[in-house]
Amino acid sequence: MTMRKVAVIGAGMTKFVRRAQETPKELSWLATRMALESCELTLDDIEAVCMGTAPDSFDGIHMKGEYLSDGAGAWRKPYMRSYVGGGTGVFVPIQGWYHVASGMFDVVLVVAEEKMSNFYPHAQAAFLTIFDHTTERPLGPNLLWIFALEMNRYMTTYGISKEDIARVSVQHKRNAANHPCALLGDPDITVEDVLNSEVLAYPVQRYDVSPVSDGAVAIVLAAEHVAKRLTDKPVWVEGVGWNLDTAHWTNRDLVYPRYVEYAARMAYDMAGIKEPKKEIHIAEPYDPFDYKALHHLEGLQLAERGQAPQLYIDGTAARDGNMPVCPSGGLLGVGNPIAAAGLMKIAELFWQLRGEAGDRQVPGQPRRGIAQAWGDLMQVGTVVIMGR
């Protein structure tokens, strides 16, 4: 099968905030307009639109893909919403990629939006229904359980300390201090701050968790012949992968995200990457909780099992390290408007690889980066590799 080369040529995003005044479609519009302006295109140049947005219940709008369409520039265009839970933000660029790689379209808009503050007063209620309605919900679960259970299994199996994990939160929140859109950037946060924060569901403490947020992100994808005419600095989508594990989450080993590994291997094969640790220069693993970043770095084959904390201890993961991890500030620092947070990672790689990340710029002219998201019921991995 021959597939066309696809480049990211533009990106835009809103601030990530706790409560936005803008409606969900206005947030989408702000990000979309900025993405178009960044590559000097207009809506007339766009042939199709892909929308990524997580559960309808967050925005409180049923069929919100359709609701969001005008803000995403989809008026009278081929349009489709994709949804794989938290993995959506890195899946929707994959959807855009195959729209273009297949030869069907030359220029495609990819938009992701979430307005979680609409869920009021308790955003957690939206997550209750991820638990089985008959065999789990009668126990009165909350979303934190599932993360706390996975985190405890991961820590205990490998003998990883809370302190090791807290370093992730600290570094990401410090990185976010340089991101103009960040909700929780903090240049002065320390490991002690994380360890002293309120215990919500042992081993999860407040600063282990990313904030509920509102925001939108958009990127523009173009086929090679178009991208080369429009920009001197296209950033190529070199590999994509996605994979789903069993829906019976209590029937599998929570220590290791096999589904992320499979998604990563698919993407590495496509990109011709044999030694990920050497060939990936920037990693943006999904970090809704700090331990998840470690979990995912292992699934992405960027660390041996149980060894990911070492990347933060020896400085490899620092912005000026050998393989910076979440130079954006990640979900922990920039914020977590679910689908938009994943696409933010793609936008970050775009800016980093073009050398346009400003105060967040990773030194040494990085050539290749990987972004990953995760979601559904602890079971989906979505991966995109980008290079210049």
Partner 1 sequence: MTENIRSFPGTPLSEQDFEEGKILFNYDELNGKFSWDTGIAIGSYLAGLKNGVILGSRCSTCRKTVVPPRTVCEWCFRPMQEYVPLHDTGTVNTFSLCYVTWDMKRLTDPQIPAVIEIDGASPLHGIMHLLKEVDPQKVHIGMRVKAVWKSAEERTGAITDIQYFKPVKEV
Partner 2 sequence: MTLLERDPKSPLTWSGNLPVTSRYTFGLAGEKFFRAIKDEGKIIGSYCKKCDHTYVPASQFCEKCLAEVSDWVDVGTIGELHTFTVLYEGYDGARLVQPEIVAFISLGDGGLIHRLGEINLDEIYFGMPLEAVFLPEGQRQGSILDIRYFKPAG
**Closer residue to partner 1 (CB): 123 or 266:** 123
Residues 247 to 266: which contact partner 1 by CB under 8 A?
A: 248, 250-254
Token pair in block for residue 175: 């990185």
Q: Please identify, among the stretches 85-93, 307-315, 350-358, 372-380, the one whose residues bind partner 1 according to the rule CB under 8 A.
A: 350-358
> By CB under 8 A, is residue 117 in contact with partner 2?
yes
> By CB under 8 A, is residue 228 in contact with partner 1?
no
Tell me if 309 sits within 8 A of 188, measured CB to CB.
Answer: no
> By CB under 8 A, is residue 203 in contact with partner 1?
yes
**Closer residue to partner 1 (CB): 60 or 321:** 60
Token pair in block for residue 120: 């009021």
Residues 56 to 75: which contact partner 2 by CB under 8 A?
A: 57, 60, 70-71, 73, 75
Token pair in block for residue 213: 């947020």
> By CB under 8 A, is residue 21 in contact with partner 2?
yes
With CB under 5 to 8 Å by kind, the binding choice for 71 among partner 2, partner 1, none is partner 2
Q: Which of 1, 42, 188, 251 binds partner 2 (CB under 8 A)?
A: 42
- How far apart, in whole angstroms, are the C-alpha atoms of residue 292 and residue 298? 10
- With CB under 8 A, what is the number of residues at the site for partner 1? 68
**Closer residue to partner 1 (CB): 101 or 219:** 219
Question: The dihedral of CA 172, 178, 184, 186: what is its sign?
Answer: positive
CA angle 323, 324, 328 (to 5 degrees): 155
- With CB under 8 A, what is the number of residues at the site for partner 2? 32
Tell me if 166 sits within 8 A of 199, measured CB to CB.
Answer: no
CB of 364 to partner 1, least distance (A): 17
Q: Which of 6, 8, 28, 38 binds partner 1 (CB under 8 A)?
A: 38
Placement of tokens 């600095």 in the chain: 233
Q: Which of 138, 187, 315, 364 binds partner 1 (CB under 8 A)?
A: 138
Helix (H) or strand (E) holding 341: helix 338-354
CA atoms within 13 A on the CB side of 388: 18
Which residues 6+ apart lie within 8 Å of 196 measured at CB? Answer: none
Cα distances (angstroms) measured from residue 44 to each of 15, 77, 118, 228: 26, 10, 32, 19
> By CB under 8 A, is residue 20 in contact with partner 2?
yes
**Closer residue to partner 1 (CB): 147 or 236:** 147
Residues 66 to 125: which contact partner 1 by CB under 8 A?
A: 120-122, 124-125
Question: The dihedral of CA 57, 63, 65, 68: what is its sign?
Answer: negative
> By CB under 8 A, is residue 36 in contact with partner 2?
yes
Question: The dihedral of CA 89, 382, 120, 206: what is its sign?
Answer: negative
**Closer residue to partner 2 (CB): 126 or 168:** 126
With CB under 5 to 8 Å by kind, the binding choice for 148 among partner 2, partner 1, none is partner 1
Cα distances (angstroms) measured from residue 134 to each of 139, 145, 178, 358: 10, 17, 46, 50
CB of 85 to partner 2, least distance (A): 16
Q: What is the DSSP string of 140-184?
A: ---HHHHHHHHHHHHHHHHT--HHHHHHHHHHHHHHHTT-TT-SS
> By CB under 8 A, is residue 310 in contact with partner 1?
no
Tell me if 98 sits within 8 A of 378, measured CB to CB.
Answer: no
Token pair in block for residue 232: 């001197």
Tell me if 105 sits within 8 A of 19, measured CB to CB.
Answer: no
> By CB under 8 A, is residue 134 in contact with partner 2?
yes
> By CB under 8 A, is residue 126 in contact with partner 2?
yes
Residue ranges in contact with partner 2 by CB under 8 A: 19-23, 25-26, 29, 32-33, 36, 42-43, 57, 60, 70-71, 73, 75, 117-122, 125-126, 128-129, 133-134, 137
**Residues near partner 1, by CB under 8 A:** 11, 13-22, 27, 30-31, 34, 38, 57, 60, 62, 120-122, 124-125, 128, 131, 133-136, 138-145, 148-150, 152-153, 156, 180-181, 198-204, 214-215, 246, 248, 250-254, 351, 354, 356-358, 361
